[in-house]
Structure 1
Amino acid sequence: MTDTDHRSELPDLSELPDLPDFPFRSHSLTPPAEYAERRATCPMGQVRLPSGDPAILLLTYRDVAAAMADPRLSHDLTGPDAARMTKEPSFLQDPDVVLNKDGEDHLRMRRIVAAAFTPRRVERWRPVIQQIADELVDDLEQAGPPTDLVAGYCFALPVRIICRLLGVPEQDALRFRVWSNAFSAGAQMTPEQTAAEIGAFLGYMAELIAAKRAEPGEDLIDDLIAARDGADKLTEHELVALATGLIAAGNETTATALSRAVVELLEDDRRLWKQLLDDPALVPAAVDELLRFTGLSNSTLLRVAVADVELPSGPVRTGQVIGIASNGATRDPEAYPDPDTIRFDRDAPPTLMFGGGPHYCLGAHLAKAELAIGLGTLLQRLPGLRMTVTRDELTFSGGEIVDSMISLPVAW
């Protein structure tokens, strides 16, 4: 049954004029004050999305963790009448994108790429990640300060790694920044700009796949082609969408997490930065804590209930749409005592930043390795790193899903 099948069962919530508008206003690096207020008073209250659609906003750790793990809360909102965050086009409307699939269809696509992202496979990639990080710092040192750390390091590191993994020419990496922003709703663009950039990205990938078919190699993209052409497990559009999505997800989210982590470490007279300089063994724990604290945006991901679901804070009826506000749940004091303080010794529940249940992020192990090596290399090679602007002077993309940092001016 689809979302449109459910809508007739529900009252017309669009007639309710008094729903608060979402997202709430806030500095990108600080969750809105409304998150804490609503978590305490109405943890499952409704909001009005920019599209005009209503959604139940989840803000507690228990509700978000339960919702992420429950297959009755579907990822598929690709139908023409389905609720969405904005009216603008995005990959969230493409039924062939793996994130938008559920059940066996989702598992079929996930199994094809899962072997490339196992912890054992990621361990083999650590020397490559370290080599790329060192090469990027070499370039920074050669050019000298000041510099934009987002362009020169935070974005360049994950995009070069995912290009190497997939077998995509690294000289094309810079083209992926705008394309990834468009594909992952990481920037505010007009509908025409978004459609044009996504079209260019998909066109590039289709040409690359054709070239790979003509001259096969041993990269991940060759494995995807084999799954399409051999056992016919992927349609042609699924193949293009999956390869494109891996590039977009493989760089935009990690670049955003890395740049946000660096800002928090360099704040407050570099107190946390100095703590890691004194004890580099804390870096893996710091990665987990910084992911919890910084998040990727103050927006929300949507799900639709395909059956009645009882969450810890209350029921969700069939056909209702929920908004999962990860940045609200990761500041829940019931799960994280003293949640607004960064503590590297925190005994915390599992992070929610990589999702949960069947849709737990395939690239989580790779992303954490990139973040740990990326931060560790900066600490070792550029111990005097400092921001040359204030926190309030930083600018962000305002993206729907990933609120990317536009630039991070630094010196050392």
Structure 2
Amino acid sequence: MGKAFTPRAIDRWRPWIASVVDELVEQLAHEDQPVDLIAHFVRAMPVAVFGRLMGLDGLDRERLAFWSDHAFATTAFPSQQVEEAMLDFFVFGTGLVAQRRAEPGEDLVSSLVQAADEDGELSEEQIVLLTILLVIAGHEVTTTVLSNTMVYLLTEGRDTWNALGKDEGLAPATIDQLLRGISISDRDVLPGFMRRAVEDVEIGGVLIPAGSMVAADTVTANLDPEVYPEDWRTQPFTSPDTPHLAFGAGPHYCLGAWLARMEMELALHRLPKRLPDLRLAVPVEEIDWRRGLLTRSPNTLPVTW
């Protein structure tokens, strides 16, 4: 499964992903203003890209958003509603796995099912859970990252926005800094990624016994002045000397990191190139934020140009 997300494999998809981005940008340019950037571009792009890669072109965007919101919910919905939504999502995943096992294709779900069946170490439930996790991660996380990035670029990051529109070569380094500096989590409910210590370890003079649950705060780590002496906003076109932790690390490193980077590189060059005067149509204080989820991003982002 991991081979499907290697840089070499994903690089073959770049022309097609670029065409998806261009089409969505052009459609956005012809919408009546103001227009919701989230609905018409930010959410539409990862749904189109990942939907095609997983062979889910016909999946209802609203249904997918509904599942994703409930999967990341903390206080946004009643617990019974979350359970019902997740059961519905699991039933969908069960049917999808069964269908791809019976009629395999060239998509990622078919590759996952085939690899899992050959390996024989995953239960059917685990295969289904991994499949629906990929569906959520490929859609929700990319949407959230790009949403929050757009808020920054259309406000205090305006100079970076203008430069990205003029030079696509700036995108890779800039994205590293944006990923490092812009949080996607709701820090009130998600202080960090939950990890279990597999052995005794001492960090900063504190002993963490084996078996302890730890909230690994990658947001703070990405801003540690001893590791990153320069503010991420002051050198937006230079990659940090030390790799950031936005995609995790080690065995927890995000499988789709290369795909997410490519989507952001293309979007954050082609959108400002086509619509350099894109701007918020509401004061930043009036942005309607999604609340009660593990992640935090705008519900809507009205823009004009």
Other-structure match for 2:120: 232
TM-score (norm 1): 0.68
How is 1:291-302 mapped onto 2 (pairs within 5 angstroms)? 291-297=179-185, 298=187, 299=190, 300-302=192-194
Other-structure match for 1:18: none
The question of 1:199 aligning with 2:71 is answered no
Count of matched residue pairs = 300
Once the two structures are overlaid, the 10-residue window that deviates more, 387-396 or 148-157, is 387-396
Looking at CA atoms only, which structure, 1 or 2, has the larger radius of gyration?
A: 1
2:250 to 357, 368, 388: 357
Q: Provide, for residues 184-219 of structure 1, a one-character-per-residue CA deviation record: whole Å limited to 9, x for no partner.
A: 448722211211111111112222233334433221
State the 1:368 CA deviation: 0.5
Q: Provide, for residues 106-158 of structure 1, a one-character-per-residue CA deviation record: whole Å limited to 9, x for no partner.
A: xxxxxxx2011000011011112111112212321232321111111111111
The question of 1:208 aligning with 2:96 is answered yes
Q: Structure 1: where are the runs of 5+ without partners?
A: 1-112
Q: Provide, for residues 226-282 of structure 1, a one-character-per-residue CA deviation record: whole Å limited to 9, x for no partner.
A: 234455343211121111000101111111111111111111382322232344321
State the 1:363 CA deviation: 0.8
SS, match of residue 244 in structure 2: coil
The question of 1:304 aligning with 2:196 is answered yes
Once the two structures are overlaid, the 10-residue window that deviates more, 221-230 or 367-376, is 221-230
Other-structure match for 1:314: 206
1:378 to 263, 271, 290: 271
Question: In structure 2, what residue type is equivalent to 1:305?
Answer: A
Q: Alpha carbon RMSD of aligned pairs, Å?
A: 2.1
How is 1:7-406 mapped onto 2 (pairs within 5 angstroms)? 113-185=1-73, 188-268=76-156, 270-297=158-185, 298=187, 299=190, 300-339=192-231, 341-348=233-240, 349-406=242-299
Q: Structure 2: where are the runs of 5+ without partners?
A: none
Other-structure match for 2:303: 410
Contact 1:159 1:247 in 2 (8 A): no
Q: 1:229 to 1:281 in 2, by over 3 A?
A: closer
Once the two structures are overlaid, the 10-residue window that deviates more, 214-223 or 249-258, is 214-223
Contact 1:258 1:371 in 2 (8 A): yes
Question: In structure 2, what residue type is equivalent to 1:408?
Answer: L
Q: Distance in 2 between matches of 1:340 and 1:233?
A: 42
Contact 2:145 2:184 in 1 (8 A): yes
TM-score (norm 2): 0.90
Q: Distance in 2 between matches of 1:281 and 1:347?
A: 12
State the 1:384 CA deviation: 1.4
Question: In structure 1, what residue type is equivalent to 2:160?
Answer: L
Contact 1:260 1:294 in 2 (8 A): yes
Q: Distance in 1 between matches of 2:109 and 2:68?
A: 17
Contact 2:144 2:297 in 1 (8 A): yes
Contact 2:5 2:258 in 1 (8 A): yes
State the 1:319 CA deviation: 3.6
Contact 2:54 2:108 in 1 (8 A): yes
Contact 1:186 1:402 in 2 (8 A): no
Question: In structure 1, what residue type is equivalent to 2:125?
Answer: H
Q: 1:334 to 1:193 in 2, by over 3 A?
A: same
State the 1:316 CA deviation: 1.2
SS, match of residue 410 in structure 1: strand
Q: 1:153 to 1:369 in 2, by over 3 A?
A: same
Question: In structure 1, what residue type is equivalent to 2:269?
Answer: G
Question: In structure 2, what residue type is equivalent to 1:352?
Answer: L
